[in-house]
Each structure stands twice: as structure tokens, then as C-alpha cells.
Amino acid sequence: MTAFSLEPAQLTWCAELRALAAERLRPLAEKGEPDRVNRALVAELGRQGLLGRLFTSGALGLCLMRESLAQACTEAETALALQGLGAHPVHACGTPAQRERWLPGVTDGTTIAAFALSEPGAGSDAAALQLTAHPDGPARWRLTGDKCWISNAPEADFYTVFARTTPGAGARGITAFLLPADRPGLTGHGLDMLSPHPVGALALDGVPVTADDVLGEVDRGFRVAMGTLNLFRPSVGAFAVGMAQAALDATLAHTARRDAFGGTLRDLQAVAHQVAEMALRTEAARLMVYAAATAYDAGAPDVPGRSAMAKLLATETAQYVVDTAVQLHGARALRRGHLLEHLYREVRAPRIYEGASEVQRGIIAKELYARQEAR
């Protein structure tokens, strides 16, 4: 089904990406170690030119990449997205020296990036983070505290780290730092998570940073974080749409050939209606994702609300579609190695990371009331 108003060239590109993911990227993903950064896969994404597109394709192009890759290889999609999430603050807010030092390695797949915002006590409430940048002379600080639930940690080559530089200032007292992984005092360990991609925790014990490591402005790091999330939230929705489409495709094939009650499953009205509902919700989510991405690319003023709506609808939809697909497949879908078993584990996390569903509802309501008051 052709969604939104994509050009023929865009549709062709999406088909090419799905084929690339199935034929070249999935074999590399299958050779990777669970819970570890798959550097061979990231390097292949670089060789195919996809990592460079993270910074040139705009929000809609990013969504098309993530949706297309997710339909055939969620590991490749996630590896691509994490490179973009970790490096976008450098691309958008870094100095020429910072960009020259780090972005070439990100785009060719030899340098692994990570976005370090969440903490053990400050996940959804990002403005409450406690990692502290203690002054250590003019334009120098030492970072002390913990980060948790950080994708690509502790194996990343550099981290975009958000730390409190002004106590008691809430969101206005946070600074973004570009932190190379070899800085003294930085340690970390992996976490055993439900989904198979690498997630870890970081401990910072007096890690030295200077003004040369600041991304953007001192005490304005929350803008860096939110600017990154406003771009990536619709594309999280695109990832979810890709998973939903994969589950829907598998369900169409299964219900068309599975014999049951003297016919096939597709002949049962209850099953056919469930499949129709899966398709309806997937297409609605896709349209909202594309609309939010187009608004971002056009510089529309309502991007935060649109991004929140897109992520919320798409991730909740994908959860429903994958769960329904498992139900229609029966026990076979729960066997280790089945596509739906894989998607069932993958689909849960996007409803939490980069702002949980409850946070997205809060953003939407805030934007609605602000718009109403401005009238």
C-alpha cells in the first residue's frame, strides 16, 4: 500500500533498502553476539552509505530508512539509529573541530556513538538528572555520577553526556558534553535486557572535561537533548511501523495457508477482521509518522507535539499488531528463532525509550493547552 505522498523514487529506494537488509545486513546481524555492539554490521552500514545519510536525509528520509530496515532486519535498523542518536548532537551543535574529529568515523562505521541522558533516578524526568559537573578551574569540570539504560554502552567510542552544571536550575542548568570513552574515571558494564541490542550503565568518577568538550552552550544542554529527540521520536515511530508491517506480512502469509475448520484461517471472519484491524492501525501510524517528519523538515512550529503523537501512536500500534500476530500464529510464534518471537521482544522497548508513552501524552497535552492559551 502506498502511504502519504511518497515519490516513486522514494518507494524504489525503500524497496532497495528492504532487499539490502535481507540479503546483506541480516547475515551480519545473525553472526553478532547478543548484547554486544556488532561492529561488522555498523561498518557495512557505513560502506553502503547509510550512516552518512543520517545527517543529510532530513527527518522523512530518516523515517524511511528506519522503517525499511526494520521490516527485514531490526538489528541493522537499531545500529543505524543509535549512530544517529549519539552523533546528532555533534553534527547539530558541535564545533568544527568536534565534527571533524568524530563524524567521519561515525559515517564510515568505524566509530561507535552513544547518547547518554538517562540515569537510575532520572529516566522519564530528564530535567531531574543528577550527574554533576563540578567546577575544576576556569572552563573545566569533573563529571561525577551514573548513567543507565544507555544504548551502545559501555562499548561506544564516545558519548554525548548530559550533566548538571548549575544546581537547582532544573532543565536550565544542564550542559551537553562530548566525552571520549578513554577519559580517566569513566567505567561501565553491560545490562542483560529483554531486547538483544547492547544496553549498559556508566559510572563517572571525576571524569575531566573542558570547554572544548561542550556541545552547544553551558547550561543549555537540555535544548541539545530535546532537539535530538524531536528529530528522532518520529523515526522511533518509523521503526515501530516497520516491525508492525513485518508482523502483518507474516500474518497474511500464515492465515492464507493455515488449514483450520474445513478451510483456512483467512476464511474465518473473526480472523479476517483482526487482520484488517492490524492493517488499519499500521497505515494510520505510518501516516502520522510521515506527517510529523514532514513537519520537522518544513520547520513547522508544532514539531514537539507532532513528534510525540507519532511516537506514541506508532509504538502502541506496533505492540498491538505484533501481539495480535503472535495470537493468530499460535504457539509456533513463541519458539526461539521465530520472526514473531524476535519482534515480540523488540517491540516492547520503544514504548519506553526516548520518552515513555506517558511522557508523550504529557507533551501532547502541554502543546494543546499552550496553543489554546495563545489564541
Q: Each residue of 135-178: pLDDT tens digit?
A: 999 999 999 999 999 999 999 999 999 999 999 888 899 999 99
Mean pLDDT calculated for residue range 83-90: 96
Closest by Cα among 187, 181, 180, 191 to 205: 187
Q: Is the dihedral of CA 197, 18, 108, 118 positive or negative?
A: negative
Q: pTM score, two decimals?
A: 0.93
- Can you read off the three cell numbers belonging to residue 128? 531531574
Contact status, residue 316 vs residue 322, Cβ threshold 8 Å = no
CA-closest candidate to residue 199, choices 23, 348, 50: 348
Residue 18 banded pLDDT, cuts 50, 70, 90: very high
Which residue, among 87, 105, 231, 101, has the nearest Cα to 159 in the 3D structure?
A: 87
Q: What is the mean pLDDT of residues 177-206?
A: 94
Mean pLDDT of all residues belonging to the chain: 94
CA distances from 75 to 117, 151, 231, 237 (A): 22, 13, 21, 16
pLDDT tens figures, 244-288: 999 999 999 999 998 888 889 998 999 999 999 999 999 999 999
What letters, b where the CB count within 10 A reaches 16 and e where it falls short, cover 304-322?
A: bbbbbbbbbbbbbbbbbbb
C-alpha cell at 44: 557495512
pLDDT at res. 2? 45
State the Rg of the chain over Cα. Answer: 21
Q: Residue 4: its pLDDT value, please?
A: 62
Question: What are the pLDDT digits (tens) for 323-368?
Answer: 999 999 999 999 999 999 999 999 999 999 888 999 999 999 999 9
Helix axes 339-346, 74-93, angle to 10 degrees: 30
Alpha-carbon span 359 to 188, nearest angstrom: 28
One of 7, 354, 367, 373 is an active-site residue; which one?
354
pLDDT of residue 117: 94
- What percent of the chain is modeled with pLDDT above 70? 98
pLDDT at 46: 97
pLDDT of residue 224: 95
Whether 354 is catalytic: yes
